[in-house]
Amino acid sequence: RIDAVDGDATAGVHAFLHVDAEGALAQAAASDERRSAGAPLHPLDGVPIAVKDVLTTQGLPTTCGSKILEGWIPPYDATVVRKIKAAGLPILGKTNMDEFAMGSSTEHSAYGPTRNPWDQTRIPGGSGGGSAAAVAAYEAPLAVGTDTGGSIRQPGAVTGTVGVKPTYGAVSRYGLVALANSLDQAGPVTRTVLDAALLQELIGGHDPLDSTSVDQPLAPLVDAARQGATGDLAGVRVGVITELSGEGWQPGVMARFQESVDLLVKAGAEVVEVSCPTFVHALATYYLILPAECSSNLAKFDAMRYGLRVVPETGKNGGLPSAEDVMRVTRDAGFGDEVKRRIILGTYALSSGYYDAYYGQAQKVRTLISRDFEAAFEEVDVLVSPTAPTTAFELGEKLDDPLAMYLNDLATIPANLAGVPGISVPAGLADEDGLPVGFQILAPALADDRCYRVGAALE
């Protein structure tokens, strides 16, 4: 299937940056052997999976969609990858993404864009457009993505797949090349809510190798998905977030959203409107905190330790190039425009004299956003909104307008700032363009099971 539809940077879905056919077939054969030997198997043993190229894979390239990591082969597996291998899932390869997970369309990949399988002139969402497109195009039944501001849920929404951002700390970040440490979280991309629950139960859990990993069990997720699938939501209180719908949102998105809300009511849920007034500041807050963290994280790409190294013939002042010259020229060649933009934003927000006004202020607003969630979850069990304000837009449409690109994550970013879990489930197709719409369900930290229960009730 990958051979038939994936194509390359110029045509086709282009969900994969690297396909490991040989490795995947060997792992599949080993799974067959375990099965015929009657060994006890994990329920996903033998089910192929695609992995976003931001998670390290021992012996397989990991580029993060960047030229600066071209040719780098990690010597170790991310914890998520280690767990996937241990359970016997063949890894098909590494999926395309916006460079260092910065973007909402996968067009910021240094290796060419991924195309939406529903309409290849359109974006598959981002930054994890590769993982979502691979699942939507039947190139992989399961995939793993990462979500710092929406990069699992928004691609899920625009490709008609299920995408989950677990509670911060519920899935190990060890081996996840950091975009923003306080926001990043790995999670499932699947076709059904039950598949996602099986996958999160597999990749989640405490990991001593990640100091922010939560050392506390989550309620069972597969059970929650099964319970939701009965279609009975009696007693569940659902809050529609006032600030995340209405004017400015695509009418076809709002129509499908309202239809899903009506389905929840039919299933017995009690639906009320809940206001979270600080959510309107989430985007501004995120675009101070995220660049601050990533400008510091990306400092390690110094032309000395990983991947690309460009050595100029002469240094800045004539003469032999210094280490600093090599660093400057390598970064200039290795980082794309969006990455450079965020490094500049981040170093500015952290610089002395501006720290309190920007980064410090953003941290305070972040606390207010968490408090809005806490207050809302005293009234309701889950909060809901459309996942993204529009369906998939045309490739190139927002590429030269960073702010328009950032606005795609309006509804997904609050959950990352507060560390709470969220799921995007398919809600049907918009009338005006026939493209998929996503329905987002958010729950309190560690109550991921609620996302699965309500999500499964909508399938």
Please give the positions annotated as active site.
Answer: 52, 127, 151
CB of 127 to ligand GLN, least distance (A): 4
CB 455 within 8 A of CB 442: no
Give the list of residues 6+ apart from residue 99 with CB closer than 8 angstroms, or none: 64, 65, 66, 108, 109, 110, 335, 336, 338, 339
* DSSP codes of every residue in 75-97: SS--HHHHHHHHTT--EEEEE--
Comparing CA positions, the residue from 411, 417, 414, 413 lying closest to residue 440 is 411
Q: Provide the residue count of the chain.
A: 459
CB of 101 to ligand GLN, least distance (A): 3
If the CB atoms of residues 69 and 236 are measured against ligand GLN, the closer one turns out to be: 69
User: In the 8-state DSSP scheme, what is residue 320?
Assistant: S
Which residues in this chain contact ligand GLN in the complex, by CB under 6 A? 101-104, 127, 147-151, 179, 290, 409
* DSSP codes of every residue in 356-378: IIIIIHHHHHHHHHHHHHHHHHH
Q: Helix 448-457 to helix 221-229 angle, to the nearest 10 degrees?
A: 30
CB of 123 to ligand GLN, least distance (A): 12
If the CB atoms of residues 88 and 422 are measured against ligand GLN, the closer one turns out to be: 422
If the CB atoms of residues 27 and 127 are measured against ligand GLN, the closer one turns out to be: 127
If the CB atoms of residues 155 and 228 are measured against ligand GLN, the closer one turns out to be: 155
If the CB atoms of residues 253 and 329 are measured against ligand GLN, the closer one turns out to be: 253
CB of 100 to ligand GLN, least distance (A): 8
Which residue intervals of 6-139 are DSSP H helices?
21-36, 79-86, 129-136
CA distance 442 to 189: 16
What is the phi-psi region of residue 192: left when phi exceeds 0, alpha when psi lies from -120 to 50, beta otherwise? Answer: beta
CB of 280 to ligand GLN, least distance (A): 17
CA distance 169 to 176: 12
If the CB atoms of residues 325 and 409 are measured against ligand GLN, the closer one turns out to be: 409
Distance separating the N- and C-terminal Cα atoms of the chain? 26
CB of 373 to ligand GLN, least distance (A): 18
If the CB atoms of residues 365 and 380 are measured against ligand GLN, the closer one turns out to be: 365
What is the phi-psi region of residue 248: left when phi exceeds 0, alpha when psi lies from -120 to 50, beta otherwise? Answer: left
CB 179 within 8 A of CB 291: no
CA distance 127 to 158: 12
CB of 322 to ligand GLN, least distance (A): 33
Comparing CA positions, the residue from 95, 93, 81, 78 lying closest to residue 19 is 93
